[in-house]
Amino acid sequence: MINVLLFSIFIFAGSGFAALLCNRHGNPQLPAWIGRTGALAGAFSGMLSVVMRFLPDTVPASSDLYGIYLNFDNLSAFFLLPVLLVGGAAAIHSPAYLKGHDHGKSGNYWFFFNMTLASMTLVTLVRTPLTFLLAWELMGTMSFALVAFEYRSKLTRQAAWIYLLACEAGALFLIGFFVFAGREISPAILFALLLIGFGLKAGLPFLHIWLPEAHPAAPAPVSAVMSAAMIKLGLYGVLRFHHMINIPDNIIGWTLLFCGLAGALFGIIAATAQSNLKRLLAYSSIENIGIICIGLGLGFLGINAGNSMMAAAGFCGALLHLLNHMLLKGSLFMLAGTVYKATGTLNMDRMGGLMKRMPRTGWLFAFSGISISGIPPFNGFLGEFLIYAAAYYGIISGTGTPVFFSSLLTMITLALVGGIAAGAFSKAIGGIFLGEPRTREAADASQAPLSMDLPPFIFTLLSLAMIFLAGNVCAYLIPVITDALGVRPCHLGVPVAELQELLYKLSIFALIVTGFFVLLQFLRSLLMRNREVTVRGTWDCGYAAPDARMEYTATAFSQPLSDFLHRLTGWRKEVLPPRDFFPKEAGIRITTADPAAKRFWVPVFHAFGTAAVKVRILQSGLLHLYILIMVTALILMLFWGYFFCGGQSESIQKTPAATKTVEVKK
């Protein structure tokens, strides 16, 4: 399996370089064909390894490639699945999306796109700290180039710069973690380094700053890969390397739980206030990462308390929600690209009426939007249902007051998040697809090419299948959970079997509900068969000539909640009052600024900028000053080595003596 995955990486990288080289030739179709073919071939061959990994009695595969240790276990396969599946789907979607605005740089796009897939695949395989950091840094650098693809826009350059800073800051914290892991450092400090380093990629609260900036700037297929696959690798890193720290499970559980509660609630509240479609989806990704963290937190708390039902429900709910989010959010971002391609804008207030012009896109978006809101019986509800179950088992377990109240808080928060999510996606669906077009661009929109709607259609079919096969999927999650817990024992077979029974019953309920609505539609068609249908205008409130300006916009739909929670949403409203007796214009200007950026990150970067200006005096051009800096750095390194690395050197010196003793005995 390792060889097949290495072959996939070779295909990704080779096709990327080939597309880049062919970009110099006159045929603009050749780089796109090479890049897409390479991405699909690499994804397909990699999927074969993932499927083989989950077959019964399959042992983890490992290999030593020129001193680089590679390992492919169930945890690697699980997190590699979104990379390959969404990467292949985005490769199908990309050519039609890029047509007309790739600025003759199609080869550049496919080089960075395929190299991003190659580096993400490599991240799930390497195990040693140095090779992991190199793969992690390669992933950040390649995806940075994709975010900056529309570099002519000032906003795109700013978003790419913020994303690059987040990548480098995360790498810096991870370097600190790997350097100090195994030394006599407080486990709390090590866990903080681990969580911040990977949390910057996953989009945990206060570390999410790059998501709402990078997603609107990046091409839609890239946003799909980043949201549905890349940010999940941040969680993969936490699960993969947390066992390097001697820290209790309850500390990990409480940290992930409260990070998840804060992220889920903040993410969906901030999403509700957005008028940019991809910013709304970006904040929704923060919400869903929060829901996954809630499940993981409850799972670790269940392991610590010896509550196997709570642990199984928490872990299975988190991983199942991760799979459903992959399908739904990948579909939504690609559909957002389809809408952008048809209208030339992501501003939902400038759309409307697209269901009549793009019915295929509209129905696919409506299904994914409703499902990701966590409304039963759709697949987006299934993972949340298991997390509800984990909280329920925490309430009735009697393991302590903190677990009881945190489980109760989890139930309340999930219910609140689900309600707000339904409102946020009702705003998106209504503002984009319903009503009448508010601009000429929306009125002139037409159905996108089939290749743009094909990947979301496939994801919709997989989402429907997940409704009825979620119980079977849970059986394959047990080895993933075992790998995530490291060397600790994990007996979750019986609890997972009980959860499967619950999901089977939920599938039967979904089947009954689906059959009921199909029956209603059939009866309606029978009753309307022989009736004359007349089309009349809706009630117009007494206006003689109503037009699209009188419709509720997406912003107006969420205005009451955004006004009420303006401190969380960053909602700022500026009224432009009418002037004179016969005013020519009047209106209202509404802006949203991320509160974490405004109140935390902007002051932090301002402080760093001020310090950098003061340190700039060191760049004086004086040779004596540069020599002094070098000597000072050398003295500090010697000081560090003598006081902090002395124990390690002593142990190294003792090793040969021990070896000699063994040889004498022989």
Could you tell me the pLDDT band of residue 587, with boundaries at 50, 70 and 90?
Answer: confident
Mean pLDDT of 330-346: 93
* Span 461-478, average pLDDT: 91
pLDDT at 490: 57
614 in a structural domain = yes
Average pLDDT, the chain: 86
How many Cα atoms within 13 Å fall on the side-chain side of residue 665? Answer: 6
Tens of pLDDT, residue by residue over 570-585, are 777 777 777 777 777 7
Residue 664, pLDDT above cutoff 70: no
Structure-model confidence comparison of residues 508 and 615, the more confident one: 508
Whether residue 657 is contained in a domain is answered as: no
Report CA-CA distances (Å) from 70 to 5, 6, 114, 138, 430: 11, 10, 21, 17, 48
* CA separation, residue 319 to residues 77, 310, 387, 474, 650 (Å): 13, 14, 10, 9, 45
Total domain count, the chain: 1
Q: Is the model's pLDDT at 529 over the cut of 90? A: no
Confidence of residue 649 (pLDDT cuts 50, 70, 90): very low
Q: What is the mean pLDDT of residues 546-559?
A: 79
Is residue 410 assigned to a domain? no
CA distance 625 to 619: 9
Q: What is the pLDDT of residue 27?
A: 72
Domain of residue 606: give its range.
Answer: 600-634
Say what the pLDDT of residue 301 is: 93
pLDDT at 280 over 90: yes
Percent of the chain topping pLDDT 90: 50
Residue 627 inside a domain? The answer is yes
pLDDT at 644 over 70: no
> Which residues, including other chains, have CB under 8 Å from residue 568's CB and lie 6 or more apart?
266, 269, 270, 595
* Beta-bridge partner residues of 71: 62
What pLDDT does residue 386 have? Answer: 94
Please indicate, yes or no, if residue 611 is contained in any of the structural domains: yes
Whole-number pLDDT of residue 334: 95
Mean pLDDT of 175-195: 89
pLDDT of residue 23: 77
Q: Would you list the DSSP string of 87-129?
A: HHHHHHHHHHHHTT-STT-HHHHHHHHHHHHHHHHHHTTB-SH
Rounded mean pLDDT of 141-149?
94
Q: What is the pLDDT of residue 641?
A: 77
pLDDT score of 544: 67
Mean pLDDT of 430-457: 90
More confident: 30 or 539:
30
Contact 45, 4 (CB under 8 A): yes
State the pLDDT confidence band at 26, using cuts at 50, 70 and 90. Answer: low
Confirm whether 605 is domain-assigned: yes
Q: Distance of CA 366 to CAs 456, 484, 552, Å?
A: 12, 35, 18
**What percent of the chain clears pLDDT 70, i.e. is strictly above it?**
94
pLDDT for residue 66: 77
Q: Within a domain: residue 625?
A: yes
Average pLDDT over residues 585-613: 80
CB 284 within 8 A of CB 227: no
Kindly write down the DSSP assignment for every residue of 51-98, as one continuous string. Answer: HHHTSTTPPPEEEEETTEEEEE-HHHHHHHHHHHHHHHHHHHHHHHHH
495-385-237-78 Cα dihedral, nearest 10 degrees? 70
Tell me the whole-structure pTM to 2 decimals. 0.90
Say which range, 137-146, 206-215, 504-513, 534-543, has the weakest mean pLDDT: 534-543
> What pLDDT sits at residue 265?
94
pLDDT band at 369 (very low <50, low <70, confident <90, very high): very high
Segment 533-543, tens digit of pLDDT: 777 766 767 77
SS3 387: helix
Residue 135 has pLDDT above 90, yes or no: yes
**Higher-confidence position of 479 and 463:** 463
**CA atoms in the 13 A half-sphere facing the CB of 590:** 19
Give the pairing of strands 68-72 and 61-65.
Answer: antiparallel
In a domain, 613, yes or no: yes
Residue 615 to residue 205: CA distance in whole angstroms: 31
Closest CA to 378 of 386, 369, 389: 369
> At 32, is the secondary structure helix, strand, or coil?
helix
pLDDT of 635 strictly over 60: yes
Q: Residue 173: its pLDDT value, please? A: 95
Q: Of 291-300, 529-538, 558-567, which has the strongest mean pLDDT?
A: 291-300
Distance in angstroms (rounded) separating the CA atoms of residues 638 and 641: 5
Lowest-confidence region among 11-15, 103-107, 260-264, 360-364: 103-107
Residue 28 phi, psi (nearest 5): -75, -15
- Cα–Cα dist 420/264, whole Å: 11
Q: What is the dihedral of CA 655, 659, 662, 664, to 10 degrees?
A: -120
Q: Which position has the token pair 């509240």?
A: 269
Confidence of residue 494 (pLDDT cuts 50, 70, 90): confident
106 has a pLDDT exceeding 80: yes
Q: Give the 3-state secondary structure of residue 347.
A: strand
Of 6, 144, 175, nearest to 80 by C-alpha is 6
How far apart CA 571 and CA 558 sit, in angstroms, is 11
Average pLDDT value for residue range 482-505? 78
Most confident of 221-230, 395-404, 637-646: 221-230
Please state whether beta strands 587-592 and 68-72 pair in parallel, antiparallel, or not at all (unpaired): unpaired
- With a cut of 70, say whether residue 25 has pLDDT above it: no
CA distance 575 to 192: 44
Strands 61-65 and 571-576, how do they pair? unpaired
As a whole number, mean pLDDT of residues 391-415 equals 89
589: helix, coil or strand? strand
- Report strand pairing: 571-576 vs 68-72: unpaired
Greater confidence (552 vs 334) lies with 334
589 phi/psi in degrees, rounded to 5: -110, 125
CA distances, 180 to each of 128, 172, 189, 193 (Å): 14, 12, 9, 10
Q: Are the CB atoms for 499 and 478 separated by under 8 Å?
A: no
Residue 580's identity, in one-letter code, is D
Q: What is the pLDDT of residues 193-244, one digit of tens each?
A: 999 999 999 999 889 989 999 999 999 999 999 999 999 999 999 999 998 8
